[in-house]
């Protein structure tokens, strides 16, 4: 199997800067043999590593006779936990023992090296190409079994199982579910391809298992998951304007046009019940926000202003729609409240604030921020306090950050980065996941020729 050739190289650099001990932790995950993932993953941890929870993940014991297919499972778990910045997995070379059954665990060994949590497991052939994977999570100080599961899986599902195990560890130890067993949808544009250069992709949240799900000559943009993750809404621009399409990926059907041709509609955002879409509609040179009932295509106009009102984001609580408007002279974020019908301005700092997207609990928005001095960065705002935090620094080699989208646990934001390449045509692009406190960044650099854009994170898949 191709994934066996994955290699993980861990390298760490420590650098004291003033009072804050900054830690740069570079984690390269290189894929050989054309694995379907972005080719390089770099993790940059800027602060807060001292709080990371130490954990030992013992390579799962292979109980079969042939060559072991099991290594990938612990590799993925290690990589998942490390790149949240919330865990500090012990390197394999420092493991004091390699137990694979509860009765083999000598808690004292782990306590002596200050490891509070331990994961062990085993993989056993179950016939017909399937395997039983079992794992246990243990509390070293209390000398207690916390939880454990058994899965039946084929080797092609080992990454998924590893993501599920990572989610469980994350939830048990931190009280918040992980966002590992999830998917992202994104667009790639192949600038030198004459044959349908716009392509829509799905992949796992760590960019593995990339699959193209459609391609077209016309620009495809603004993909977004339905609340139940069964459909993706996206927009396409044609010679007569834009339309929104719905793609039922659970059925594998072809995408279907959802808006009438006469409307120039794009920027879809789902209502929490999945029955309506908020969208921007262009008419007489002005963009306004509309809400459409998907089934009947009945349109209701929400904003009425001669300036641009664009990029609606429907809150998960259903209380409001946040949108971009230039009614104040420059593009800024505003909210429309369904109860009062009132529109309030939300952002005041910076030259521009655009393209908001909600956290799953509806308390935060993430958006693109253009400051007076720097380029386009990703910011987060707490809607109750209106406090804004800029999460990224586009002066550090990335010329533009765009299209932020929250992870389903609200702990991270994924966005697209254009890396500056002076004097070169085309763009080097990648996806970056940044923790909501801005302390941990994971770069998924795409070394292919396609320009990656507009990632959108799914909710939990079952």
Considering the complex, what minimum distance in angstroms separates the CB of residue 368 from other proteins?
6
Interacting residue with other proteins among 310, 365, 432, 436 (CB under 8 A) = 310
The structure tokens listed for 78 are 């290690």
Residue 78 or 324: the one with the smaller Cβ distance to other proteins is: 324
- DSSP β-bridge partners for residue 418: 400, 429
**Does residue number 340 form part of the binding site for other proteins (CB under 8 A)?**
no
The structure tokens listed for 125 are 């052939």
Q: At what angle do helices 158-174 and 71-84 cross, to 10 degrees?
A: 40
Considering the complex, what minimum distance in angstroms separates the CB of residue 178 from other proteins?
29
Interacting residue with other proteins among 29, 43, 308, 343 (CB under 8 A) = 308
**Does residue number 170 form part of the binding site for other proteins (CB under 8 A)?**
no
**Does residue number 451 form part of the binding site for other proteins (CB under 8 A)?**
no
Residue 185 or 308: the one with the smaller Cβ distance to other proteins is: 308
The separation between the first and the last C-alpha atoms of the chain, rounded to the nearest angstrom, is 25
**CA dist 331 to 304, 307, 355, Å?**
16, 10, 10
Interacting residue with other proteins among 117, 403, 429, 458 (CB under 8 A) = 403
Residue 205 or 279: the one with the smaller Cβ distance to other proteins is: 279
Query: Which among 15-23, 58-66, 250-258, 396-404 is the span making contact with other proteins, rule CB under 8 A?
Result: 396-404
Considering the complex, what minimum distance in angstroms separates the CB of residue 354 from other proteins?
5
**Does residue number 282 form part of the binding site for other proteins (CB under 8 A)?**
yes
**Does residue number 40 form part of the binding site for other proteins (CB under 8 A)?**
no
Sketch the per residue contact string, 404 through 423, with other proteins: x for CB under 8 A, - otherwise: --------------x-xxx-
Residues 108-147 that bind other proteins (CB under 8 A): none
Query: Which among 58-66, 219-227, 294-302, 433-441 is the span making contact with other proteins, rule CB under 8 A?
Result: 219-227
**Does residue number 390 form part of the binding site for other proteins (CB under 8 A)?**
no
Query: Which among 76-84, 111-119, 236-244, 334-342 is the span making contact with other proteins, rule CB under 8 A?
Result: 236-244
Residue 107 or 218: the one with the smaller Cβ distance to other proteins is: 218
Considering the complex, what minimum distance in angstroms separates the CB of residue 311 from other proteins?
5
Residue 58 or 378: the one with the smaller Cβ distance to other proteins is: 378
- Residues sharing a CB contact under 8 Å with residue 302, sequence separation 6 or more, in sequence order: 278, 288, 289, 290, 291, 312, 321, 336
Quickly tell me which residue has 């993750």 as its tokens.
Answer: 229
Question: Taking the alpha carbons of 43, 49, 55, 56 in that order, is the dihedral positive or negative?
Answer: positive
Q: How many residues sit in the footprint of other proteins (CB under 8 A)?
A: 44
Interacting residue with other proteins among 75, 134, 181, 402 (CB under 8 A) = 402
Interacting residue with other proteins among 80, 183, 224, 266 (CB under 8 A) = 266
- DSSP β-bridge partners for residue 181: none
Considering the complex, what minimum distance in angstroms separates the CB of residue 219 from other proteins?
4
Residue 224 or 441: the one with the smaller Cβ distance to other proteins is: 224
Residue 131 or 376: the one with the smaller Cβ distance to other proteins is: 376
Interacting residue with other proteins among 161, 287, 378, 388 (CB under 8 A) = 287
Instruction: Return residues touching other proteins (CB under 8 A).
Output: 219, 221-222, 235, 237, 239-242, 264, 266-267, 280, 282, 284-287, 308, 310-311, 324, 326, 330-331, 352, 354-355, 368, 370, 376, 399-400, 402-403, 418, 420-422, 425-427, 453-454
């Amino acid at each position: 199997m191709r994934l066996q050739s994955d290699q993980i190289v861990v390298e760490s650099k420590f650098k004291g800067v003033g009072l804050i001990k900054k830690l740069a932790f570079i984690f390269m995950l290189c894929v050989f043999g054309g694995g379907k993932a972005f080719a390089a993953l770099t993790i940059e941890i800027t602060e807060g590593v001292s709080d990371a929870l130490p954990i030992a993940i013992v390579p799962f014991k292979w109980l079969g006779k042939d060559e072991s297919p099991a290594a990938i499972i612990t590799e993925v778990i290690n990589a998942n936990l490390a790149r949240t910045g919330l865990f500090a997995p012990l390197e394999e070379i420092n493991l004091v023992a390699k137990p694979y059954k509860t009765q083999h665990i000598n808690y004292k060994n782990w306590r002596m090296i200050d490891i509070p949590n331990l994961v062990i497991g085993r993989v056993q052939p179950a016939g017909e190409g399937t395997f039983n994977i079992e794992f246990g999570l243990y509390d070293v100080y209390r000398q207690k079994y916390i939880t454990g599961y058994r899965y039946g899986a084929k080797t092609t599902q080992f990454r998924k199982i590893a993501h599920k195990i990572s989610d469980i560890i994350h939830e048990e130890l931190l009280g918040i579910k992980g966002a590992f067993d999830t998917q992202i949808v994104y667009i790639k544009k192949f600038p030198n391809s004459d044959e349908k250069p716009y392509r829509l992709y799905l992949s796992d949240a760590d960019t593995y298992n990339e699959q193209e799900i459609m391609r077209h000559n016309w620009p495809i943009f603004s993909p977004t998951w339905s609340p139940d993750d069964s459909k993706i809404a996206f927009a396409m621009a044609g010679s007569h304007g834009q339309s929104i399409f719905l793609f039922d990926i659970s059925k594998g059907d072809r995408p279907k046009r959802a808006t009438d041709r006469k409307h120039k509609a794009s920027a879809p955002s789902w209502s929490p019940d999945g029955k309506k879409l908020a969208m921007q509609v262009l008419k007489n040179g002005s963009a306004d926000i509309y809400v459409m009932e998907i089934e009947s295509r009945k349109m209701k106009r929400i904003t009425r202003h001669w300036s641009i009102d664009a990029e609606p984001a429907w809150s998960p609580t259903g209380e409001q729609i946040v949108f971009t408007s230039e009614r104040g002279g420059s593009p800024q974020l505003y909210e429309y409240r369904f109860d009062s019908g009132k529109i309030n301005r939300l952002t005041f700092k910076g030259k521009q604030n655009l393209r908001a997207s909600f956290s799953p609990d509806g308390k935060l928005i993430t958006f693109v921020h253009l400051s007076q001095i720097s380029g386009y960065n990703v910011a987060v705002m707490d809607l109750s306090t209106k406090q804004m935090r800029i999460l990224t620094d586009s002066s550090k080699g990335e010329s533009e950050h765009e299209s932020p989208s929250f992870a389903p646990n609200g702990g991270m934001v994924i966005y697209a980065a254009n890396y500056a390449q002076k004097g070169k045509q085309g763009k080097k692009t990648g996806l970056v996941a940044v923790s909501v406190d801005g302390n941990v960044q994971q770069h998924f650099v795409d070394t292919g020729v396609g320009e990656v854009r507009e990632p959108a994170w799914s909710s939990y898949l079952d």
